[in-house]
Structure 1
Amino acid sequence: MKIIACYSNKGGVGKTASAVNLAYAYAQSGARTLLCDLDPQGASGFYFRVKPSKKLKEAKFFEDVERFTKAIRGSDYENLDILPANLTFRDFDIFLSRMKNSRSRLKKALQGVDGDYDVILLDCPPNLSALSEAVFKAADHIVVPVIPSTLTERTFAQLVTFFDEQGLKAKKLKPFFSMVQARKTLHGDTMARMRKSYKGRFMDTHLPFSTDVEKMGVHREPTMAFAGNRPAGKAYQALWQELEKRT
Structure 2
Amino acid sequence: MRSIALYNLKGGVGKTAASVNLAYLAAAHGIPTLLWDLDPQGASSWYFHGEAEELKARKVFEGTSPAGRLVKPSPYKQLSLIPADLSYRYLDIILKKVEPPREALRRLLKPFSEQYALAVLDCPPSLSHLADNVFAAADRVLVPAVPTWLSLRALEQVQAYFRTEGFEPKKIRPFYSMADRRRSLHRELLENPPAAMARRYPAVIPYASAVERMGEHRAPLAAYAGSDEPALLAYAELWLELKRDLGL
Going from structure 1 to structure 2, the CA distance change for 1:11 and 1:55 (only over 3 Å counts) comes to same
Mapped to 2, the partners of 1:246 and 1:3 lie a distance apart of: 12
Map 1:65-104 → 2, pairs under 5 A: 65-66=65-66, 68-104=67-103
Q: State the one-letter code of the partner of 1:31.
A: I
**Contact 2:62-2:94 at 8 Å conserved across structures:** no
RMSD: 1.4
**Contact 1:224-1:236 at 8 Å conserved across structures:** no
Corresponding position of 2:218? 220
Corresponding position of 2:107? 108
% identical aligned pairs: 39
Going from structure 1 to structure 2, the CA distance change for 1:80 and 1:62 (only over 3 Å counts) comes to farther
3-state DSSP class of the match of 1:224? Answer: helix
Count of residue correspondences: 245
Deviation at 1:62, TM superposition (A): 4.8
Corresponding position of 2:232? 233
Q: State the one-letter code of the partner of 1:172.
A: K
Q: State the one-letter code of the partner of 2:19.
A: A
**Contact 2:35-2:82 at 8 Å conserved across structures:** yes
Unaligned runs of 5+ in 1: none
7-16 vs 108-117, greater mean Cα deviation: 108-117
Mapped to 2, the partners of 1:118 and 1:65 lie a distance apart of: 23
Normalised to the residue count of structure 1, the TM-score between the two structures is 0.95
Deviation at 1:37, TM superposition (A): 0.4
Going from structure 1 to structure 2, the CA distance change for 1:62 and 1:205 (only over 3 Å counts) comes to farther
Deviation at 1:98, TM superposition (A): 2.0
Query: 1:88-113, CA deviations, whole angstroms, 9 ceiling, x for partnerless residues?
Result: 11011111112221100100011132
3-state DSSP class of the match of 1:207? Answer: strand
Corresponding position of 1:242? 241
3-state DSSP class of the match of 2:3? Answer: strand
Mapped to 1, the partners of 2:122 and 2:62 lie a distance apart of: 17
Runs of 4+ more than 4 Å apart: none
Normalised to the residue count of structure 2, the TM-score between the two structures is 0.94
Mapped to 2, the partners of 1:22 and 1:201 lie a distance apart of: 19
Mapped to 2, the partners of 1:3 and 1:245 lie a distance apart of: 14
Mapped to 2, the partners of 1:238 and 1:178 lie a distance apart of: 13
Mapped to 2, the partners of 1:11 and 1:199 lie a distance apart of: 18
Deviation at 1:199, TM superposition (A): 6.3
Mapped to 2, the partners of 1:150 and 1:198 lie a distance apart of: 11
Map 1:35-184 → 2, pairs under 5 A: 35-66=35-66, 68-184=67-183
Deviation at 1:61, TM superposition (A): 3.0
Deviation at 1:244, TM superposition (A): 1.1
Deviation at 1:196, TM superposition (A): 4.3
